[in-house]
Structure 1
Amino acid sequence: MDMYENPYMAFPGITAEEMALLQQGTAELDENQKKYFYMVYSGKRKNPQDILLVTLLGFIWIAGIQRFLVGQIGMGLLYFFTGGFCWIGTIVDLVNYKEIALEFNRKMAYESYHIAKFSVK
């Protein structure tokens, strides 16, 4: 796994917290498992800037798309039918878009770790 020994730097919008999470989480994986983890995780990961953009779209188009993107279908429907709680929820999501993406990416890293750990031997 080359890319200057840290392939996670290629992820757009990666934060130091997410980088530390990925490095700690993959420390015990061998090289093949790390490559497989990277492949699986890169397909599931959400860029925080994408979350920000779709949250902004909630003001002019359809509220709640950001919640659908991160798999929170119930909250997405609630935002959709209430106009993002009359835009208050949308404003809160604008402030917290990085946390929304990090929470989702943390779950995807956990899933990807288990897929890589038990699939590649």
Structure 2
Amino acid sequence: MYQNPHLAFPGITPEEMGFLQQGTADLNEEQKKYFYMIYTSKRKNPQDLLLFTLLGFVVVAGVQRFVVGQIGMGLLYLFTGGFCLIGTIVDLINNKTLANDFNRKMAYESYQMAKMRS
């Protein structure tokens, strides 16, 4: 029985599943395996980002921004206390959007690497 590889990702959203299905449609089986190997290592789980955002209230603001590679915003959050916690609250509400944006970039990078592989 064929198992959908998209279902193996914890916390996958319908949007993420949609862009993964579209992005891998023209890859052959070897390229798809390579794509999923790369993407799995780069992908961020939305629940993990939620936990990192919650850390902003207790320990250090901006951890979630560092995790998704937004170093400048992470430093800004760090030095301003998450924009006096307002930015942290916004990130708490938008954690799935942060994860989807980051995962979309990582899917594109993984796709490019898989296409280069013959």
Note whether the superposition's TM-score is higher than 0.5: yes
Q: Percent identity?
A: 71
The CA RMSD measured in Å over matched residues stands at 0.9
- For residue 59 of structure 2, what is the aligned residue in structure 1? 61
- For residue 103 of structure 1, what is the aligned residue in structure 2? 101
Deviations 1:67-90 (A, max 9, x none): 000000000000000000000000
Equivalent-residue separation in structure 1 for 2:77 and 2:41 (angstroms): 26
Q: Which 5+ residue runs of structure 2 have no aligned equivalent? A: none
Alignment of 1:18-57 (within 5 A): 18-57=16-55
Equivalent-residue separation in structure 1 for 2:20 and 2:73 (angstroms): 27
- For residue 15 of structure 1, what is the aligned residue in structure 2? 13
- For residue 84 of structure 1, what is the aligned residue in structure 2? 82
Q: Which 5+ residue runs of structure 1 have no aligned equivalent? A: none
Using a 3 Å threshold, how does the CA distance of structure 1 residues 27 and 62 change in structure 2: closer, same or farther?
Answer: same
Deviations 1:34-89 (A, max 9, x none): 00000000000000000000100100100000000000000000000000000000
* TM-score normalised by structure 2 residue count: 0.98
Give 3-state SS (helix, strand or coil) of 1:29's partner: coil
